[in-house]
């Protein structure tokens, strides 16, 4: 056996003995991942659910600036747990121009401003908000939800009024069958894949 190989073998043996003797290394390699991964999978969804519940409980104040608002949209706003104050729409070239309203958003007296104007058959809008305020972001999110629901209902209404089938017109591409059956990977393979994504982080 050559001397270089003996040296490598001796050094490797020494390192292995030190590695086994160091209980902290073994703990870090074996125990910490075994504890960390279950905690991540259990605590992370709980934290997200808690955050969502906290946001839902927040009361947000919104100013709606508009000369006229569709009745259904007004009802959607009322159901979206928004404290709404209506104001006339100021003269603006673009609805997204703050035009002096930024101070009300910055000082927290209101959380968002929704501007609406009817342009022929199109309802144009802009939402002014403060991106550094969690409450303002929540107000913006709830406003978008209400606007999205109104847009969906209005789209269906207009399609029906044109004599078309809204379901076929808006959804021409559909999945057939159970989407869960299309993945042929076993649960073990899926778990292994998920675990392999976290292992490099350790």
Q: What is the pLDDT of residues 94-134, one digit of tens each?
A: 999 888 888 999 998 899 999 999 888 889 999 999 999 88
Mean local confidence (pLDDT), 46-75: 79
Question: Taking 60 as the threshold, does the pLDDT of residue 154 lie above it?
Answer: yes
* Whether 40 and 139 share a structural domain: no
Work out the number of other CB atoms within 10 angstroms of the CB of residue 151.
13
52 is a domain residue: yes
Q: Are residues 143 and 108 in the same domain?
A: yes
> Which residues constitute the domain of residue 117?
58-170
Distance, in Å, from the CA atom of 102 to the CA atom of 63, rounded to the nearest integer, reads 12
DSSP 107-153: TTS-SEEEEEEEETTEEEEEEEE-TT-HHHHHHHHHHHHHHHHHHHH
- pLDDT tens string 2-58: 677 778 788 878 877 776 677 677 777 777 777 777 777 777 777 777 666 666 667
Whether 69 and 37 share a structural domain: no
Predicted confidence band of residue 1 (pLDDT cuts 50, 70, 90): low
The answer to whether residues 51 and 98 belong to one domain is: no
Say yes or no: 156 and 82 in one domain. yes
Q: Are 147 and 98 in contact (CB under 8 A)?
A: no
Same structural domain, 75 and 109? yes
Q: Are 38 and 127 part of one and the same domain? A: no
The CA distance from 128 to 140, in Å, is: 8
Short-list 117, 108, 112, CA closest to 83: 112
Question: What would the 3-class secondary structure string for 47-60 be?
Answer: HHHHHHHHHHHCCE
End-to-end CA distance of the chain: 38
Closest to 84 (Cα-Cα) out of 52, 61, 105: 61
Query: Per the structure, how many domains does the chain have?
Result: 2
- In a domain, residue 10? The reply is no
pLDDT band per the 50, 70, 90 thresholds, residue 172: confident
């Amino acid at each position: 056996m050559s001397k270089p190989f003996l040296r490598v073998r001796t050094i490797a043996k020494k390192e292995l003995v030190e590695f086994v003797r160091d209980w902290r290394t073994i703990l870090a390699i074996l125990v910490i991942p075994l504890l960390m991964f279950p905690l991540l999978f259990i605590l992370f969804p709980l934290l997200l659910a808690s955050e969502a519940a906290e946001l839902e409980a927040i009361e947000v104040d919104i100013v709606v600036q508009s000369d006229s608002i569709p009745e259904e949209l007004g009802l959607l706003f009322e159901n979206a747990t928004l404290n709404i104050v209506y104001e006339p729409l100021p003269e603006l070239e673009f609805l997204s121009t703050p035009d002096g309203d930024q101070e009300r958003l910055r000082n927290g007296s209101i959380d968002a401003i929704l501007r609406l104007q009817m342009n022929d058959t199109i309802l144009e809008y802009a939402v002014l908000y403060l991106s550094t305020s969690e409450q303002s972001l929540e107000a913006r999110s709830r406003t978008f939800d209400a606007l999205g629901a109104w847009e969906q209902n209005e789209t269906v209404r207009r399609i029906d009024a044109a004599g078309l089938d809204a379901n076929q017109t808006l959804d021409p591409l559909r999945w057939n069958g159970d989407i869960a059956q299309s993945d042929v990977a076993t649960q073990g393979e899926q778990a292994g894949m998920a675990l392999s994504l976290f292992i490099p982080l350790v």
